Amino acid sequence: MVGYDLCHQKDFDCKLILKSKYSKTKKILSVSYKSLFCTFFQIISISFIVLDNHFIYEAMIKSKNYFILREKVRSFKSEFGIKYQTKNNSKDNLIMNPEEALFLRIKKMSANGYLDESTIVSLNGSNRLEQMKNFLEIYRNSSNQSNTIILGDLIHEFLESQIDTLFIPFTDKTCGISNGYCCDFALTLWCQNQSLSWFIYPIIVERFDDYPYQLNENQYKSIKRNLVTVEGSDSTLINIPIANRNGERQNYYLFSYEKEIFVYPLRDVLNG
Amino acid sequence: MYQWAFLIFLYLIGLLYINVLFPNLSNNHRQLLSPFFGVGFSGVVVGFLLIARIPLSLPYFFICLLLILIFAKILLKILYLHNLSWGQLFAHTSSNVLSISFVLYLVISCFFVLSGFADASPDSTQFEATGRYLAQGGLVNSSTPQMAFMLNGRLLIVGAMHAMTRLFGGYSLYALNPTMCVWLLLFLAYTIFILNRKVDNVTRILLLLFFVITLGFYKHFFNGMFAIHSNQLSMIFFTVSIVSLYFFTVTEEKSWVYIGSLTIGFACLTRVDMLLCSLIFFFLLTLIRKTDYNMMKYAWYIFFVSLLPWRAFTLYYTPLNTWYVNATQLYLLIGANIILCLLSTQLHRYNRTPVNLIRKSPFIVGPIIIFLLIFFIPEKVELSWNLFIKYILLGHSTWLLLIISLIISTISFYYIDFREKNYYILFIPTGLYLFMLFLLVAFAGYENVDHSASRMVFHTVPLFIYSLFIGFSTAVTNKPKTSREMLAS
């Protein structure tokens, strides 16, 4: 009997007050009901976000039930046509056999690669070595474009003052017009090689394939000395010559031998 | 450690700028916003040097930074807005440096620099390459390979940050995004704490912690902040701009509108597709009843002054037919902003803003647009339906959960909107943004090729979660009135 305490006047007024209080009480209850209803839905909404928590996910993926549930959800999605499959989702899939796609191979590889630490310390100091190691740790095996920038980084660090023009054999003839984005070189992919021009600016990068860019065994043996060697993505070894930093600028060329690449002057390779 | 020095520099320079531009904001707010301002203004300075065809170097950078600061200060003095002397300004800034906020920033940034953890993708290599190109004296030059792509895809702000790291002696930039994302989390948590002033302290702290855990450990946010990309900074600027609008409605402090328009300008300098988000920002600003003609005008001025010089410059180097963003698309995006500018300012000029009608317009215009598209270009709608809705939103479990959450929260939206009139500002952008992404994929998507819309959904995540928490606290704290209160009313 809400409101009787205030209702001590005439009967008529009292009835009015009671009526008004009754409707307002109903209103209060309705507001409270709505508030509860709303809070409930807000909590449910937040729960969906909380469910997608990094740590919950990490814990979940360790359980077998998760994979069973995931497969069920996926088959449910496919049944209702929800999951739309693109035929070629990634640039990594440009090569014909998907099993050979770089991102699949990368998953099988270890993150640590070879780094010619003593030579780098003697040339650039230990501080630079630490920074370079961190850079390589971030970018090595991260994508099909990482070899391009690891090569660029090494050229900038060790040969910046030596090179006038760098010739790379990534032309339509060697890479194929349709696959212009990626080139298969030294048994791995080199994609978005335009980044190389940005990376080693002001060195000029020229696409040119009219030179023997695949080394034979003798040439390989003769130039495989006095080099800084760093392991790039996909176990590719990148070799940079230790040049006289005060020497004159000259043109350098990109060569390959199996899974190794070399940045070297053409004359030295031919003479070697 | 050079990278750490650069991150500290961003905070300090942001603090200096924010002290010049918005001295009337509370100290905590200025401190929490300063790193974002540091990033934005450093990017603007790099853009200014590129436009002026001056090779990037630290002396030129500092001179230009100082010139812009002096210009801003003189302009504010002329406009009689603030008149802080140089002495006061530097005293103010140096006293700000001795604060908990700054120490916290030092710790966070140092942690991420030392951890050395980052997630590189194919695009990261191009951001890194752009930074190296600029730091090694590269200028905008039509003979440089893929210059249009570099300008519209990898510049301005993220490329500029990579370049500045190199100039500061750093090797490669990786700690900026996690530092800024954590700082955004702190900023949002602080605003939740402030907005729930009427609630008791224990509930406030619990709410704050719940928010920090929910957003901070949200899978996509937690993992995404380590990525070397432009999505993180775009997300930060977009979120700050919309939250600023909400803060304006709560505090009625004009500065928040200008902060919002400046940060949405920075967002558009980070990614070209954020020009769609600026439409959302100004649409919401038009809806706020407290917005007047002058405020609207100045907000647009700030936005265009920060954005147009760079965009005009990039347009000059962008061909009509290019594989990335082409000139026509740029004209369309800028043109849409100019049209909205004219409409919104004119509506406010004659004080005839039909707020209720505009408020309902997305629900009327959206279906009309879809209907027209189905009628004229059904293949594009089908493409977007397949690529964006089926493959991205429903196909990726993380986005599917987000969409379910969005749909469920819509049920309670009407109740909260009735209790808190400005809730619309926080809740609606997610829906509008997803609709715009649908249109973006329809016009710029290609069959059988992945679209960056998948990453772009990320831009709205913090804002959506923030809106859920504001909605939650509104629903919880809006206790029904007692009978006496009802009688009194």
Burial grade of B359 (CB within 10 A; 0-12, 13-18, 19 or more): middle
CA distance B204 to B198: 9
Write out the DSSP string of B190-222: HHHHHHTTTS-HHHHHHHHHHHHHHHHTBHHHH
Contact B483 A199 (CB under 8 A): no
CB A132 within 8 A of CB A107: no
Picking from B126, B172, B483, the nearest residue to A138 by CB comes out as: B172
CA distance B40 to B305: 13
Per-residue pLDDT, B408: 86
- In this structure, is residue A85 part of a structural domain? no
CA-based nearest distance A57→chain B, Å: 8
Percent of chain B with pLDDT over 70: 95
Q: What is the β-pairing status of strands A250-257 and A260-264?
A: antiparallel
Per-residue pLDDT, B80: 65
Interval A156-205: pLDDT, tens: 888 888 888 888 888 777 776 555 577 888 777 788 777 888 888 888 88
What is the pTM (predicted TM-score) of this model?
A: 0.86
CA B144 to each of CA A206, B154, B161: distance values in angstroms, whole numbers, following the listed order:
12, 14, 20
Mean pLDDT of B413-442: 84
- In this structure, is residue B110 part of a structural domain? yes
- In this structure, is residue A84 part of a structural domain? no
CA distance B340 to A29: 44
Interval A59-75: pLDDT, tens: 887 787 877 887 787 77
Residue A77 has pLDDT above 50, yes or no: yes
Per-residue pLDDT, A21: 54
Per-residue pLDDT, A26: 54
Residue of A nearest to B223 (CA): A54
Per-residue pLDDT, B278: 93
Residues A31 and A58 in one domain: yes
Question: Hey, how many other C-beta atoms are within 10 angstroms of the C-beta on B371?
Answer: 11
Per-residue pLDDT, B375: 86
Mean pLDDT of A78-98: 49
Residues of B in contact with A33 (CB under 8 A): none
Mean pLDDT of B342-363: 79
User: How confident is residue B38, by pLDDT bands cut at 50, 70 and 90?
Assistant: very high
User: How confident is residue A103, by pLDDT bands cut at 50, 70 and 90?
Assistant: very low
- In this structure, is residue B24 part of a structural domain? yes
Interval B382-402: pLDDT, tens: 888 888 888 888 877 788 888
CA A248 to each of CA A157, A243, A268, A269: distance values in angstroms, whole numbers, following the listed order:
17, 10, 15, 18
Interval B206-242: pLDDT, tens: 889 999 999 999 988 998 899 899 999 999 999 999 9
Residues of B in contact with A57 (CB under 8 A): 219
Per-residue pLDDT, A112: 55
- In this structure, is residue B82 part of a structural domain? yes
Q: Which token pair is B65? A: 């930074």
Per-residue pLDDT, B5: 93
Per-residue pLDDT, B62: 93
- The residue type found at B411 is I
Highest mean pLDDT among A131-140, A146-155, B19-28, B55-64: B55-64
Query: Where among A36, A53, A79 does a domain terminate?
Result: A79
**Structurally, how many domains does chain A consist of?**
2
- In this structure, is residue A245 part of a structural domain? yes
Contact B171 A86 (CB under 8 A): no
Query: Where among A52, A79, A106 does a domain terminate?
Result: A79
| Residue that wins the pLDDT comparison between B164 and B392 | B164
- In this structure, is residue B186 part of a structural domain? no
Cis amide prior to A202 (ω within 30 degrees): yes
Q: Tell me which of A38, A102, A106 to substitute to probe the interface with B (most B C-beta atoms closer than 10 Å).
A: A38
Residue B132 has pLDDT above 90, yes or no: yes
User: How confident is residue B352, by pLDDT bands cut at 50, 70 and 90?
Assistant: low
Residue range(s) defining the domain that contains residue B20: 1-175
Residues A96 and A64 in one domain: no
Per-residue pLDDT, B444: 78
Picking from B120, B125, B387, the nearest residue to A195 by CB comes out as: B125
The C-alpha torsion from A121 through A122 and A127 to A131, rounded to 10°, is: -50
Per-residue pLDDT, B40: 95
Contact A152 B174 (CB under 8 A): no
- The alpha carbon of residue B117 and the mean position of all alpha carbons in its chain are separated, in whole angstroms, by 24
Per-residue pLDDT, B216: 92
Residues A48 and A128 in one domain: no
Mean pLDDT of A228-248: 79
Residues A123 and A252 in one domain: yes
Residue range(s) defining the domain that contains residue A250: 92-271
CA distance B165 to B5: 9
Closest CA to A115 of A211, A222, A238: A238
* 80-109 of A, contacting B, C-beta below 8 A: 81-91
CB A154 within 8 A of CB A139: no
A134 reaches B (C-beta below 8 A): yes
Residue A83 has pLDDT above 80, yes or no: no
Per-residue pLDDT, A106: 43
User: How confident is residue B168, by pLDDT bands cut at 50, 70 and 90?
Assistant: very high
Residue B149 has pLDDT above 60, yes or no: yes
Residue B244 has pLDDT above 90, yes or no: yes
Residue A3 has pLDDT above 50, yes or no: no
* 52-91 of B, contacting A, C-beta below 8 A: none
Report the mean per-residue pLDDT for chain B: 86
Contacts of A114 (CB under 8 A, 6+ apart): A229, A230, A231, A237
- In this structure, is residue B236 part of a structural domain? no
Q: Which token pair is A270? A: 């031919």
Per-residue pLDDT, B486: 38
Interval A106-135: pLDDT, tens: 444 444 566 667 777 777 777 778 888 888
Mean pLDDT of B392-419: 81
Residues A172 and A265 in one domain: yes
| Residue that wins the pLDDT comparison between B441 and A179 | B441
B122 reaches A (C-beta below 8 A): yes
Residues A46 and A180 in one domain: no
Residues A117 and A251 in one domain: yes
- In this structure, is residue A119 part of a structural domain? yes
Of the listed ranges A74-78, B259-263, B422-426, the least confidently predicted one is A74-78
Residues A259 and A133 in one domain: yes
Q: Which token pair is B4? A: 């750490």
CB A203 within 8 A of CB A162: no
Mean pLDDT of B247-272: 92
Residues A57 and A177 in one domain: no
A161 reaches B (C-beta below 8 A): no
**Structurally, how many domains does chain B consist of?**
1
- Over its C-alpha atoms, chain A yields an Rg (Å, rounded) of 34
Cis amide prior to B156 (ω within 30 degrees): yes
| Residue that wins the pLDDT comparison between A250 and B397 | A250
Task: Locate all alpha helices (DSSP H) within B318-396, ordered by sequence.
Answer: 327-349, 355-376, 378-384
CA A112 to each of CA A145, A232, B112, B116, B120: distance values in angstroms, whole numbers, following the listed order:
18, 10, 21, 15, 16
Residues of A in contact with B472 (CB under 8 A): 39, 42-43, 46
CA-based nearest distance A222→chain B, Å: 33
Residues A146 and A241 in one domain: yes
Per-residue pLDDT, B450: 67
B324 reaches A (C-beta below 8 A): no
- The alpha carbon of residue B172 and the mean position of all alpha carbons in its chain are separated, in whole angstroms, by 24
- In this structure, is residue B133 part of a structural domain? yes
CB A166 within 8 A of CB A201: no
Query: Where among A18, A46, A79 does a domain terminate?
Result: A79
Residues A120 and A45 in one domain: no
Which region, left, alpha or beta, applies to residue A241 given φ > 0 means left and ψ of -120 to 50 means alpha?
beta
- Over its C-alpha atoms, chain B yields an Rg (Å, rounded) of 22
Q: Does the complex come out with an ipTM higher than 0.85?
A: no
Highest mean pLDDT among A76-80, A252-256, B181-185: B181-185
CA-based nearest distance B352→chain A, Å: 34
| Residue that wins the pLDDT comparison between A115 and A264 | A264
Residues A266 and A227 in one domain: yes
Main-chain phi, psi angles of A204, to 5 degrees: -85, 135
Task: Give the H or E element holding residue A230.
Answer: strand A227-231
| Residue that wins the pLDDT comparison between A115 and B263 | B263
Residue reference for tokens 């090779």: B55
What angle, rounded to 10 degrees, do the helices at B327-349 and B275-287 form? 10
- In this structure, is residue B313 part of a structural domain? no
User: How confident is residue A99, by pLDDT bands cut at 50, 70 and 90?
Assistant: very low
- In this structure, is residue A195 part of a structural domain? yes
Residue A250 forms beta bridges with which residues? Answer: A163
- In this structure, is residue A123 part of a structural domain? yes
